[in-house]
C-alpha cells in the first residue's frame, strides 16, 4: 500500500500517513494526495542493492528525509552507513538492521528488501530516479510553504504586518529554491581556469584594465582593480571622516557609467541607507553634481541662478540606476530578500550598506551579545555577495581607541565590535582625514606665553593645516586579491565630494574638470 508524508507548518517532514486513506469528502470529491512516487523510490533502492555504485550518483543531493515513504528513507540511511564504511549494502547485509524494525514489519519485514532488489533499475538510470524522488520532495515542501503562508495571512498576530509576511514568505521560498540547487559540488580545474581567463580578458578589453566595478577614482581602481564580484568590501572610519560621502560618490560613479555605456561598465546600485533618508541621500548627490552646498539647499538660501542649476542637475540624474532603501533597523534577512528582488527585477550589480552597525540582529540572536550579532551580520553580507555574485560595499564605524593614538590613523584592530569584520571581508579600507583632527588642535593663548610664542604656534598650526587641506587618505589595510597601500583623494566637505588628486591644478580646477 502506497504511503505519503504530511508536512508540518515549518516545512519539514512530520508524520506519515496513508496516501489512500483519504478517498472522498462528504460531497464525493476526492482528496488530493501529496506528490510521491513509491515505485521510483523502490527502483532506486533496488539499484543501490544490485550495484552500490548507484549510491554515488545520488548521495550528493539525496537524503533519507527526501523519501515520501518513511521506511524507504530508513533503508536508504542504513545503506549509506554501510557504503560509507566500505561495506556492501544489499538485502543480506541489511537484514540484521531491520529484523526488529516494526515499521518495516508492516510491509513484509526483511523479505521486503528482496522485493526492492527485484525492482532495480540500471546504474545509468539511478541518477534520474534520484532526481525524481528529490523533485517530488521539493513539491511537498512547496505545498507546505504555501499552506504556511495562507495560515499566517489568516492569523491575527498584530506584530506581523502583511509586508513582514511577504518578506518572510519570499525568504522561505528562496531558501527552498537554494535547497533545490543540487548541481553544485566540485568544479573541474579546467572550468575554473576558463572562468579566470574570461575575467582577465574582460579586464584587458576594458579601458583602465579593471576586472570589477569601477569606483570612479583612478588610484583606488588601480590598486583594487575595481570592486570584484562576490567580494565583501568594508569602508570604515570615525564619524565625520566622509564614509557616506565616499560611498555615495562610488555608487553614483558606478550607476552613471552603467547608464552611459549601455550596461557594459558600471553597475545598477542598490543603496541601503539605514542612517539617512532617501531625500537626504539624493540631496548629497545633487549637491555634488551641481556644486551647490547641501547646507544652503536645506536652508533655502539659493539664488535663482543656483536653483536653475539644481533643476538642471536633477534632470540628468533621472536615468541613473540607483535604488535607495531607507528602511531603518533592517535585518540581514530582510536586506538579502530585497537585494535578491532587485537583482531579479533590475539586474543589480552593486550593493551599498550604510552602515553595518545599524543592521538589526535576528530575534534569536539578541541574547548572544553584540559581538556575535555583528559576526552573523558580516557572514550574512558575505553570503549575499556570493549568492548574487555582486560586490557588497558595507560601511563600518571604528572604535574610539583610534583617537588615543598619535597620529590617530586607523588600523584593522580598530574595527568596532567584532574581529569577524576583518575575517569575513575581502577588502578593508579606512578613511583618514588629518585636517579634521588638526582643526581641533587650534592653539590658544597660554598664561606663560612669552612674546611671539603664540604667533609661532599659530603659524606652525596654519602651515601644518595648509599641507593637508582638503586631503583624505584612503588606507587599504586588507585585500585578498592584491597589495595593500595608501592613496590620497581630494575632499570638498561643502559638497560632500571626493575626487582624484591632481597636484598640477587647483582645488577648483580639479572639481570643475
Residue 469 clears pLDDT 90, i.e. is over it: no
Please report where in the chains the cell 552597525 appears, as a residue: 357
Question: Do residues 16 and 86 share a domain?
Answer: yes
Task: Say whether both 445 and 484 belong to one domain.
Answer: no
Q: What is the pLDDT of residue 184?
A: 55
Task: Provide the pLDDT for residue 250.
Answer: 92
State the pairing for strand pair 348-354/392-397: parallel
pLDDT at 106 over 70: no
Cβ(116)–Cβ(50) under 8 Å?
no
What integer pLDDT is reported at residue 435 of this predicted model? 83
Task: Find the CATH number of the domain harbouring 322.
Answer: 3.40.50.300
CB within 8 Å of 326: residues ≥ 6 apart:
273, 274, 276, 277, 278, 281
145-167 pLDDT tens trace: 898 888 888 886 777 788 778 87
CA distance linking residue 474 with residue 462, whole number of Å: 23
Q: Compute the distance between CA of residue 435 and CA of residue 456 in angstroms, rounded to an integer.
A: 19
pLDDT greater at residue 493 or residue 277: 277
Residue 412 and residue 273 share a domain: yes
Q: Is residue 74 part of a domain?
A: yes
**189-231 pLDDT, tens digit each:** 777 777 777 766 766 666 555 678 888 898 888 888 888 888 9
**302 and 323 share a domain?**
yes
| Beta bridge pairs of residue 396 | 236
DSSP class of residue 35 equals: P
Q: Which domain holds residue 452?
A: 434-469
The most confident of 278-287, 425-434, 451-460, by mean pLDDT: 425-434
Answer for the pair 89, 79: CB distance below 8 angstroms, yes or no: yes
Same domain, residue pair 478 and 382: yes
Nearest C-alpha neighbor of 130 from the set 243, 224, 30, 43: 43
Whether 40 maps to a domain, the answer reads: yes
Q: How many residues does the chain have?
A: 513
Beta-strand relationship, 232-237 and 427-432? parallel
Helix (H) or strand (E) holding 313: helix 304-317
Q: How many other CB atoms are there within 10 angstroms of residue 81's CB atom?
A: 13
pLDDT at 38 over 80: yes
pLDDT at res. 67: 92
Asked, for residue 208, whether it belongs to a domain, the answer is no
Does the pTM of the predicted model rise above 0.85?
A: no
Q: Is the pLDDT of residue 21 over 70?
A: no
Q: Average pLDDT, stretch 272-297? A: 81
Q: Assess if residue 197 is contained within a domain.
A: no
Partners of 235 in the beta sheet?
Answer: 395, 429
Does one domain contain both 167 and 295?
Answer: no
Decide if 211 is inside a domain: no
Using N-to-C axis directions, what is the helix angle for 278-290 and 243-260, rounded to 10°?
Answer: 70
- Asked if residue 448 and residue 302 are part of one domain, the reply reads no
Question: Measured in whole angstroms, how far is the alpha carbon of residue 222 from the centre of its chain?
Answer: 25
Reduce the secondary structure of 266-305 to three states and give it as a string: CCEEEEEECCCCHHHHHHHHHHHHHCCCHHHHHHCCCCHH
Q: Contact at 8 Å (CB) between 374 and 417?
A: yes
pLDDT at 392 > cutoff 90: yes
CA-closest candidate to residue 359, choices 336, 345, 377, 386:
377
**Main-chain phi, psi angles of 139, to 5 degrees:** -65, -40
Same domain? For 106 and 248 the reply is no
Burial class from Cβ neighbours inside 10 Å (0-12, 13-18, 19+) for residue 430 reads buried
151 and 29 in one domain?
Answer: yes
Q: 390 and 280 share a domain?
A: yes
CB 52, CB 21: distance < 8 Å: no
Q: Are residues 402 and 263 in the same domain?
A: yes
Number of domains into which the chain is organized: 3
Give burial (CB, 10 Å; 0-12/13-18/19+) of 452: exposed
Using CA atoms, how far apart are residues 490 and 242, in angstroms rounded to an integer?
11
Selected residue with higher pLDDT from 205 and 88 = 88
Cell readout for 65 is 528525509
pLDDT tens per residue across span 115-143: 888 888 777 788 888 889 999 999 999 99
The CATH number of whichever domain residue 159 belongs to comes to 1.10.860.10
Whether 245 and 498 have beta carbons less than 8 Å apart is answered as yes
Cis amide bond preceding 355, omega within 30: yes
pLDDT for 2 equals: 38
Mapped onto helix, strand or coil, the DSSP state of residue 205 is helix
Q: Is residue 115 part of a domain?
A: yes
Q: Would you say residue 348 lies in a domain?
A: yes
pLDDT at site 17: 38
Q: Is residue 494 part of a domain?
A: yes
pLDDT at 170 over 70: yes
Regarding whether 304 and 274 lie in a shared domain, the answer is yes
Q: Is the pLDDT of residue 76 over 80?
A: yes
Give the other-Cβ count within 10 Å of 225's Cβ: 19
Question: Which of 130, 156, 179 is a domain's end point?
Answer: 179
Among residues 162, 179, 196, the one where a domain terminates is 179
User: What is the share, in percent, of the chain residues with pLDDT greater than 90?
Assistant: 8
Beta strand 13-18 pairing with 485-492:
unpaired
Contact 59, 92 (CB under 8 A): no
Cα–Cα distance, 230 to 54 (Å, whole number):
35
**pLDDT on residue 410:** 86
Element of type H or E holding 488? strand 485-492
Amino acid at each position: 500500500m502506497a504511503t505519503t508524508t504530511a508536512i508540518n507548518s515549518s516545512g519539514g517532514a512530520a508524520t506519515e500517513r496513508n496516501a489512500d486513506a483519504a478517498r472522498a469528502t462528504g460531497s464525493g470529491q476526492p482528496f488530493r494526495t501529496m506528490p510521491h512516487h513509491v515505485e521510483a523510490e523502490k527502483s532506486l533502492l533496488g539499484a543501490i542493492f544490485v550495484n552500490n555504485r548507484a549510491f554515488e550518483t545520488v548521495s550528493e543531493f539525496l537524503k533519507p528525509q527526501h523519501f515520501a515513504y518513511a521506511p524507504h528513507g530508513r533503508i536508504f540511511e542504513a545503506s549509506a552507513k554501510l557504503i560509507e564504511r566500505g561495506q556492501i549494502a544489499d538485502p543480506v547485509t541489511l537484514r540484521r538492521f531491520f529484523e526488529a524494525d516494526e515499521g518495516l514489519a508492516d510491509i513484509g519485514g526483511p523479505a521486503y528488501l528482496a522485493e526492492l532488489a527485484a525492482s532495480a533499475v540500471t546504474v545509468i538510470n539511478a541518477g534520474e530516479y534520484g532526481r525524481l524522488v528529490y523533485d517530488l520532495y521539493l513539491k511537498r515542501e512547496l505545498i507546505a510553504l504555501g499552506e504556511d503562508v495562507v495560515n499566517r495571512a489568516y492569523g491575527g498576530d498584530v506584530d506581523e504586518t502583511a509586508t513582514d509576511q511577504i518578506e518572510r514568505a519570499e525568504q522561505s521560498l528562496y531558501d527552498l529554491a537554494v535547497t533545490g540547487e543540487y548541481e553544485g559540488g566540485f568544479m573541474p580545474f579546467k572550468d575554473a581556469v576558463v572562468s579566470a581567463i574570461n575575467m582577465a580578458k574582460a579586464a584587458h578589453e576594458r579601458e583602465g584594465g579593471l576586472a570589477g566595478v569601477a569606483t570612479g577614482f583612478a588610484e583606488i581602481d588601480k590598486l583594487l582593480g575595481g570592486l570584484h564580484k562576490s567580494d565583501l568590501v568594508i569602508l570604515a572610519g570615525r564619524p565625520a571622516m566622509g564614509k557616506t560621502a565616499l560611498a555615495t560618490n562610488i555608487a553614483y560613479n558606478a550607476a552613471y557609467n552603467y547608464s552611459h555605456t549601455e550596461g557594459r561598465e558600471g553597475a545598477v546600485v542598490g543603496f541601503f541607507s539605514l542612517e539617512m533618508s532617501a531625500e537626504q541621500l539624493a540631496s548629497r548627490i545633487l549637491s555634488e553634481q551641481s556644486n551647490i552646498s547641501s547646507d544652503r539647499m536645506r536652508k533655502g538660501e539659493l539664488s535663482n541662478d543656483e536653483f536653475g542649476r539644481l533643476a538642471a542637475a536633477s534632470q540628468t540624474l533621472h536615468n541613473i540606476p540607483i535604488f535607495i532603501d531607507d528602511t531603518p533597523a533592517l535585518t540581514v534577512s530582510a536586506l538579502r530578500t530585497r537585494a535578491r528582488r532587485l537583482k531579479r527585477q533590475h539586474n543589480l550589480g552593486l550593493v551599498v550598506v550604510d552602515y553595518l552597525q545599524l543592521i538589526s540582529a535576528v530575534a534569536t540572536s539578541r541574547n548572544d551579545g553584540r559581538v556575535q550579532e555583528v559576526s552573523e551580520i558580516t557572514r550574512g553580507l558575505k553570503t549575499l555577495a556570493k549568492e548574487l555574485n555582486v560586490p557588497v560595499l558595507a560601511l563600518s564605524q571604528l572604535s574610539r581607541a583610534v583617537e588615543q593614538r598619535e597620529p590617530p590613523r586607523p588600523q584593522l584592530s580598530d574595527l568596532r565590535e567584532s574581529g569577524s569584520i576583518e575575517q569575513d571581508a575581502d577588502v578593508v579600507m579606512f578613511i583618514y582625514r588629518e585636517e579634521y583632527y588638526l582643526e581641533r588642535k587650534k592653539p590658544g593663548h597660554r598664561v606663560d606665553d612669552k612674546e611671539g610664542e603664540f604667533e609661532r604656534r599659530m603659524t606652525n598650526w596654519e602651515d601644518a593645516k595648509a599641507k593637508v587641506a582638503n586631503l583624505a587618505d584612503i588606507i587599504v589595510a586588507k585585500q585578498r586579491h592584491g597589495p595593500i597601500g595608501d592613496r590620497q583623494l581630494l575632499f570638498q566637505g561643502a559638497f560632500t565630494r571626493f575626487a582624484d588628486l591632481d597636484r598640477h591644478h587647483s582645488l577648483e580646477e580639479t572639481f570643475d574638470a
